[in-house]
Amino acid sequence: MSGKYRAILCDLRSDQVLDVLPAEGVKFDDYIGKTGSASLTIPVTSADMARRARAAVATARTALWIERAGETWWGGIVWTSEVVPPSRSGPGGMGIQAATFDSYLDHRLLTSGWTGTGVDQFDIVRQIIDWTQSAPGGDIGIEMDWGQTSGITRDRTYNRYDLHNVRELINQLANVEQGFEWRIRAYSAQDGRRVKGLQLGYPIIRSARTPLVLSKPGPVTSYRMPEDGTGRATHWQSRGATVNQNQAAASYPLTSPVLAVTGAIDAGWPRLDGTSDYTSVEKQATLTAHARADLTRAWTTTQVPTVTVRLDGSGLSPHLLGSTIRLRIRDEWHPDGLDAQYRLIGVQVAPPTRTSPETAQLLLEPAPEPLTLT
């Protein structure tokens, strides 16, 4: 592995360092809105190294931290590993794959239920994570800012018999109309301590205030701007729980009104229908808010540009997720020059190899379009 990087293996619950081992083929990514991942191989050239790797790597209970130039750039949980024995083609090793710390919440259920009326949506998230960490063995050290609010209150009841997956429950709350963004951010505190911090943003996560300018020619080595209309919709209806308590009558799910993008049909678009299911939602207003958010996403997220950048000298790091990127391109497709602003929502880092420089692939989000629904 490049001298800029090192992998630190720690106990997940206490964060006590178990070992710092050499690593090869390190790749990692982080996102707003989905779980990030990391993969690497620990080269095993002796029985002592094999012993150290076995002692340090225990799937589902070992934390992996990746540092670049002494700064924490990524953190998560080792979920899978594989021992590769030595062969004629080369020495053996241990391959490990990890996912960001929010993946832990995919392995927890809300077994006690939760009820609240007029509670700020940020407080709902924090209270549920606080409950998750209060169970014996459940505290993995996620830190929270209890003073931050969104200004949007919710009424929610989560039945313990539904056995809600905690991460899915938070995502569902976040993806409603006037929802929010969240992630578990891994970083180094000023005192050098490694931090697993809950990051919340309403309506979105914003980081640096000053746009980062990236250009081609310049640090941008390549880019892609795909358009995908397969998920686009002009109309939407969501289904909720079956609320009929009369066993003798036919049962039907709660449904939202059929919502439409104002002006889409008049502008020449064909009607494109979409639907979603929320089987635990029993309130009409909540279901309609989900439907409005789902239609907004289906109409506006057809383009997700990606840009590949040389890391050295670019000023980029995973800590800039949520920042504004000002992208300038002049080439055959943009002879007059593209000068547009996007939000950084994903970073995939590939450390240098013998044949390629250290690069980062950036996942960008265009500025939202003005939109009204009827």
Each residue's pLDDT tens digit, 78-94: 999 999 888 776 778 99
Q: No. of H helices and E strands in the chain?
A: 4, 22
> Residue-wise over 293-303: b if at least 16 C-beta within 10 A, else e?
bbbbebbbeee
pLDDT tens-digit map of 106-145:
999 999 999 999 999 999 999 999 999 999 999 999 999 9
Question: Residue 292 in 3-state DSSP?
Answer: helix
Q: What pLDDT is attached to residue 87?
A: 75
Confidence band, pLDDT 50/70/90 cuts, at residue 245: low
Q: What pLDDT is attached to residue 304?
A: 87
Q: How far apart are CA 238 and CA 175, in angstroms?
A: 13
Confidence band, pLDDT 50/70/90 cuts, at residue 357: confident
Could you tell me which CATH class the domain 108-201 is placed in?
A: alpha beta
Token pair belonging to 244:
């009929």
Distant-in-sequence, close-in-space partners of 152: CB < 8 Å, separation ≥ 6: 120, 121, 178, 180, 202
**What is the domain partition of the chain in residue ranges?**
5-104, 108-201, 212-226+303-366, 235-300
For 163-183, what is the mean pLDDT? Answer: 96
Q: What angle do CA 325, 329, 333 make, to 5 degrees?
A: 135
| Residue 322 near residue 343 (C-beta atoms within 8 A) | yes
For 37-43, what is the mean pLDDT? Answer: 94
Q: What pLDDT is attached to residue 243?
A: 75
Q: What pLDDT is attached to residue 249?
A: 65
pLDDT tens-digit map of 16-27:
999 999 888 899
Q: How far apart are CA 133 and CA 61, in angstroms?
A: 15
pLDDT tens-digit map of 300-309:
888 889 999 9
Q: How many angstroms from the chain centroid is the CA of residue 54?
A: 29
- The side-by-side arrangement of strands in the sheet containing 194-201 is 142-143, 194-201, 181-188
Angle of the 121-134 helix axis to the 166-174 helix axis, nearest 10 = 170
Length of the chain: 374
For 209-213, what is the mean pLDDT? Answer: 87
Q: How many angstroms from the chain centroid is the CA of residue 196?
A: 14
Torsion angle (degrees, nearest 10) of CA 263, 267, 269, 271:
40
Entry pTM: 0.92
Q: How far apart are CA 98 and CA 107, in angstroms?
A: 14
Could you tell me which CATH class the domain 212-226+303-366 is placed in?
A: mainly beta
Confidence band, pLDDT 50/70/90 cuts, at residue 186: very high
**Residue of 223, 234, 239 whose CA lies nearest to 342:** 223
Whose tokens are 């077994």? That residue is 111
Confidence band, pLDDT 50/70/90 cuts, at residue 246: low
Q: What pLDDT is attached to residue 92?
A: 84
How far are the Cα atoms of 64, 126, 293, 351 from residue 57, in angstroms, in the given order?
A: 9, 30, 41, 22
